[in-house]
A and B are shown apart, each in its own frame.
Chain A
Amino acid sequence: MELRVAVEKNFGRFLLNADLSVRGKRIGIFGPSGGGKSTLVGLIAGLSRPDRGIITLDGETLFDSSSGINVRTEDRRMGMVFQRPSLFPHLNVKGNLLYGYKRCAPENRKIVFDDVVEVLNIGRLLDSGVKKLSGGEKQRVAIGRAVLGNPRLLLLDEPLSALDDSLKFQIVPFLKNACEAFGIPYLFISHSLLEIRIMTDQVLNVVNGRIVGQTTAEALVRSRMGDSMAGYMNLLQLSAPRQVDALYSYAWGGQQLFTASGDDRPEGLFELSSTDIMLFKSHPEAISARNLLKCRVVGTFQAGNRVGVDLECNGDGRLVAEVVRQAADELGIRAGAEVYAAIKSTAFRKLG
């Protein structure tokens, strides 16, 4: 998918002036609330009209003020999922799902009903009215409805923001799987760095109506590490839990990790802050932390007055720790060095 946008729109007190060119399947749009993210996406979808500019998708011009081209929303073949599901109250779940599908030209119908229902696990809801569904169910149906429209580009405007945390990370796999399975490129808007990291590869940073940066998700997160008290959030996919005494023992990257929280589900997503990883130059003989990992420093990066440390732990586990500059100098932390990382079991937070 290739998207080029160069538009301007004046809202009186707010001026949107965006210039971007992206290529890829998982694009993020990040920025503070009120900064213009939703507005920008609304212009791309055709829901509102720029004062001036040009929008092209995969080479097709959707809007060009100089030649008067303005393709109608209904002809742009874009799907959109909003913060609130906005399901049609007068149709049941099946009716909602098929709304876009029916209006898709037969030759474009690559994504079909049964597949979507299966991926999103909404089979038993099909005959139900939409009022009785739970928040998560409604959002899954909304995703299914957008996907079944067989869009060329899926616009996701803070689709997880209205859900509570546990629900958020239940929906995330559905969303990822749906888009991956059906090969749909998407623009994912969020003000949450975590969601951006999970869902996107490249990120456009939108502040005050302008695109102030275009980086990879990873680079964005790392650059913000210095500004945030929470540091860099390591996202770890842990599996095969066992209960050992009062703790859970999960498998990760060829080794065992002990966490204070957990459940019986075979897989779990955990976050671990870089600020919670303590580094030792040599093996501490006795330590209260239940996790002690022998790691090799792959590299370091600057983030404000902190230093981020890329660690490789025993095989394929990768972690990012952070220390202040003096500490990095004192311990001689540089690429190739060997360190020990100590992590308390309580430092792991289960996401979903």
Chain B
Amino acid sequence: MLGFTNADYSAILLSVKVATVATLLSLPFAFAVAYLMTYRRFRGRIALDVAVNLPLTLPPVVIGYLLLMLLGQQGLVGKLLLQPLGIKLIFTWKAAVIATSVVGFPLMVRSIRTAMEAIDERLVQVSRLLGAAMLDRIITVILPLSIRGIIAGSVLMFARGLGEFGATVIVAGNIPGVTQTIPLAIYEYASSPKGDVMALSLCAISICISVVVLVFHEYLGRRIVRRD
């Protein structure tokens, strides 16, 4: 179909895989951070807010480079933790997942926070009065009432992940079949004379996937409204 090579099919599957894993992996952390920012007062709150939002303002290449310095052979985490345990992250699909997660994290946190902040404080008070301890009310009140934000955040992160290039290329490299996602494949074709047709084909696939994701998001949104 469309003259795709094995490497190209790999790229498509890899893109979807990396974006999905990054989204699922980030969900619990993003939820926890959103909860802390919404419901807790603590010293260093502002620092956390800045740290979480930093990837939004940094060029992805900078983020990739910083991750490389941290997780690479000479990095702090790399030398002290990964090498002794024999874990290699740089130039693996796991690094692509990490890069995508870091870049998309602020988007997810923001979405969830917006939804959480809209929850009537009175409802949380009521749940406490009725005997719900912290974890209980998180699961039975806060989570269900912020589901819209969670879904929106996931979709945003997934879409951002599909398009992630800058951080990924530095920290995961361009390895066909292993870390070459759609954007990397397109970049390679675009640098190559006679590669335009292939680049455009991959662009078309990218657009199709995005459309599917957006339609799914709309559908989910409608279903939740109907249930209410």
Q: A and B touching (C-beta < 8 Å)?
A: yes
Complex contacts, A5 vs chain B, CB 8 Å = none
State whether the Cβ of A74 lies closer than 8 Å to any Cβ in chain B. yes
Q: Could you tell me the distance in whole angstroms from the C-beta of B68 to the nearest C-beta in chain A? A: 44
Q: Are B228 and A86 in contact (CB under 8 A)?
A: no
Encode A97-135 as 1/0 by CB contact (under 8 A) with B.
001100110000000000000000000000001010000
Partner of B120, one of A86, A99, A129: A86
State whether the Cβ of B136 lies closer than 8 Å to any Cβ in chain A. yes
The CA of A45 and the CA of B126, in the complex, are separated in Å by 11
Q: Could you tell me the distance in whole angstroms from the C-beta of A57 to the nearest C-beta in chain B? A: 14
Complex contacts, B140 vs chain A, CB 8 Å = 99
Given contacts A82-B122, A84-B122, whether A73 and B128 have CB atoms under 8 Å apart is yes
Q: Could you tell me the distance in whole angstroms from the C-beta of A270 to the nearest C-beta in chain B? A: 35
Given contacts A86-B120, A89-B145, A103-B136, whether A47 and B126 have CB atoms under 8 Å apart is no
Complex contacts, B58 vs chain A, CB 8 Å = none
Given contacts A86-B120, A89-B228, A90-B144, whether A74 and B133 have CB atoms under 8 Å apart is yes
The CA of A100 and the CA of B129, in the complex, are separated in Å by 8
The CA of A129 and the CA of B129, in the complex, are separated in Å by 22
Q: Are B129 and A45 in contact (CB under 8 A)?
A: yes
The CA of A89 and the CA of B141, in the complex, are separated in Å by 10
State whether the Cβ of A78 lies closer than 8 Å to any Cβ in chain B. yes
* CB closest chain-A residue, reference B141: A88
State whether the Cβ of A80 lies closer than 8 Å to any Cβ in chain B. yes
Q: Are B132 and A86 in contact (CB under 8 A)?
A: no
Complex contacts, A88 vs chain B, CB 8 Å = 123, 126-127, 141
State whether the Cβ of B44 lies closer than 8 Å to any Cβ in chain A. no
Q: Are B132 and A78 in contact (CB under 8 A)?
A: no
Q: Are A103 and B128 in contact (CB under 8 A)?
A: no
Given contacts A86-B123, A103-B136, whether A145 and B130 have CB atoms under 8 Å apart is yes
Looking at chain A, what size class is its interface with the partner chain?
20 to 34
Complex contacts, B38 vs chain A, CB 8 Å = none
Complex contacts, A45 vs chain B, CB 8 Å = 129
What's the dominant secondary structure at chain B's contact region?
Answer: helix
The CA of A74 and the CA of B128, in the complex, are separated in Å by 5
State whether the Cβ of B28 lies closer than 8 Å to any Cβ in chain A. no
Given contacts A74-B132, A103-B136, A104-B131, whether A80 and B122 have CB atoms under 8 Å apart is no
Partner of A90, one of B126, B128, B145: B145
Partner of A47, one of B123, B128, B145: B128
Q: Could you tell me the distance in whole angstroms from the C-beta of B7 to the nearest C-beta in chain A? A: 46
State whether the Cβ of A149 lies closer than 8 Å to any Cβ in chain B. yes
Complex contacts, B131 vs chain A, CB 8 Å = 74-75, 77, 100, 103-104, 149
Q: Are B125 and A47 in contact (CB under 8 A)?
A: yes
Complex contacts, B132 vs chain A, CB 8 Å = 74, 99, 103
State whether the Cβ of A262 lies closer than 8 Å to any Cβ in chain B. no
State whether the Cβ of A79 lies closer than 8 Å to any Cβ in chain B. yes
Name the interface residues of A9-57: CB closer than 8 Å to any CB of B: 45-47
The CA of A99 and the CA of B126, in the complex, are separated in Å by 10
Given contacts A89-B228, A90-B144, whether A79 and B129 have CB atoms under 8 Å apart is yes
Complex contacts, B133 vs chain A, CB 8 Å = 72, 74
The CA of A17 and the CA of B122, in the complex, are separated in Å by 25
The CA of A88 and the CA of B145, in the complex, are separated in Å by 9
Partner of B122, one of A78, A86, A90, A146: A86
The CA of A282 and the CA of B133, in the complex, are separated in Å by 69
Q: Are B120 and A149 in contact (CB under 8 A)?
A: no
Complex contacts, B120 vs chain A, CB 8 Å = 86
The CA of A45 and the CA of B133, in the complex, are separated in Å by 15
Q: Are A80 and B126 in contact (CB under 8 A)?
A: yes
The CA of A74 and the CA of B132, in the complex, are separated in Å by 6
Q: Are B145 and A100 in contact (CB under 8 A)?
A: no
Complex contacts, A145 vs chain B, CB 8 Å = 130
A sample of 11 cross-chain residue pairs with beta-carbon separation below 8 angstroms, ordered by A number, consists of: A47-B125, A73-B125, A74-B130, A74-B136, A86-B123, A86-B126, A88-B141, A90-B144, A90-B145, A100-B130, A100-B131
19 new A-B contacts, CB < 8 A, other than A46-B128, A47-B125, A86-B123, are A45-B129, A74-B128, A74-B129, A74-B130, A74-B131, A77-B131, A78-B129, A79-B129, A84-B122, A88-B123, A88-B126, A89-B228, A99-B127, A99-B140, A100-B129, A104-B131, A129-B228, A146-B129, A149-B130
> Sorted from nearest, which 3 A-B pairs have the closest CB atoms?
A100-B130, A103-B131, A73-B128
